[in-house]
Structure 1
Amino acid sequence: MITYKGIEIDVEDNNYMKTKGLSSYLNKDIRIAIGNHVREDYIDVLKYIIDYIIINKPTISVNQNIGYYSWLLQFRVDDQNYYDIYEVNSDGSNFNNGCDTAISIIRNQSEICSHYGLSTIFPNFNQMVVISQGVYEGKDIEGIRYESPEHMSGWWLITDDYDDNIESLMTVHYHHVAFSRPDILKYLALPFGYRFLIENNEVEISKDEE
């Protein structure tokens, strides 16, 4: 058992990691199914949710979504004493019990930024992305991230199908890109002012000099 901000986290169970005491903020505690990652990863997810609940004091309902950095989780009830954490699957078609995909995506994004000595700035599901034709089709892609208003992720994603007509660009929700282009997810937490280029299976990351 460990304690975080007055909330106990049971780390002894081999199947679930559970909170004790969060029911004073909600009508239930929370549990996460343990999958293929190390226990510290699941502890980090619970700490994130604990922070969210203590700070925001939200009213939680069944099937309510919560953003976990740049992935999406959901509260379900499989046991009357707990909200179980589910996550959207990689193509967005359904939700699965646990949070292994979320953990992998967040780790990959963090590792890319750390490798280049950059701060990690996660996009979220409520933000928007500017894309050209060819992005959803999986073509080679260049991404540039600009300082932007809060509702925008800052990402502009362009392929060779772009005809230099700015009116041909589309503004779409981040999750549409996340589900259709899992190959670029790891680069989307690069900070403002950076770009990545994927061409002929080669990747180049650099500071935008324009």
Structure 2
Amino acid sequence: MEEEQRNLCKRYGAGFTAPEETYKVGVSDSALRGELPLHGLRHWPESGTTGWFIWACEWSDAPDFFKPLHLYHLVEDCPTVVPFLALPPGWRFMVAPGHEDVWSDSDLLDS
């Protein structure tokens, strides 16, 4: 898994910044159900979180849209996102069948 993450970071010119497996991510039920496309964005980690928010389809501002989940659960519950999780804070991804997009978004570092 780490080699795949390192290769992805290198391919996009991003620093390798693997989060702690015991830290939490915010993940939507739609992502856990395997809906597509999958989106992810990473803020600065804080207070036992990775900074990652992962969702499928459309974003929602509903207060219960993101559920806290330990990172290590994603290996089974949402394995498609695992290669992207070593991207550093300030990065985003979107993945769907036959499509992968990864980009830096400095606005994420301001919040």
Report the TM range for the smaller structure's normalisation. Answer: 0.7 to 0.9
Q: 1 or 2 for the larger relative contact order (CA 8 Å, sep ≥6)?
A: 2
**Within-5 A mapping of 1:169-208:** 169-208=66-105
Given that residues 135 and 159 in structure 1 are in contact (C-alpha distance below 8 angstroms), is that contact kept between their aligned partners in structure 2?
Answer: yes
Gaps of 5+ in 1: 1-104
Aligned to 2:49: 152
**Alignment-mate amino acid for residue 180 of structure 1:** D
**Alignment-mate amino acid for residue 126 of structure 1:** T
Aligned to 1:90: none
**Alignment-mate amino acid for residue 129 of structure 1:** V
Q: Compute the TM-score of the two structures, normalised by the length of structure 2.
A: 0.85
Output one character per residue of 1:112-170: Cα deviation in whole Å (capped at 9) or x when no partner: 11111211011222100001121111112100000021511110001126532133321
**Alignment-mate amino acid for residue 139 of structure 1:** E
Q: Compute the TM-score of the two structures, normalised by the length of structure 1.
A: 0.47
Q: How big is the alpha-carbon RMSD for the aligned residues of Structure 1 and Structure 2?
A: 1.6
Gaps of 5+ in 2: none
Output one character per residue of 1:79-113: Cα deviation in whole Å (capped at 9) or x when no partner: xxxxxxxxxxxxxxxxxxxxxxxxxx110000111
Aligned to 2:14: 118
Question: How many pairs were matched up?
Answer: 106
Sequence identity (%):
23
| Structure 2 Cα separation of the partners of residues 200 and 106 of structure 1 | 22
Q: Which has the larger radius of gyration?
A: 1
The change in CA–CA distance for 1:116 and 1:170 in structure 2 (over 3 A counts) is: same
Aligned to 2:63: 166
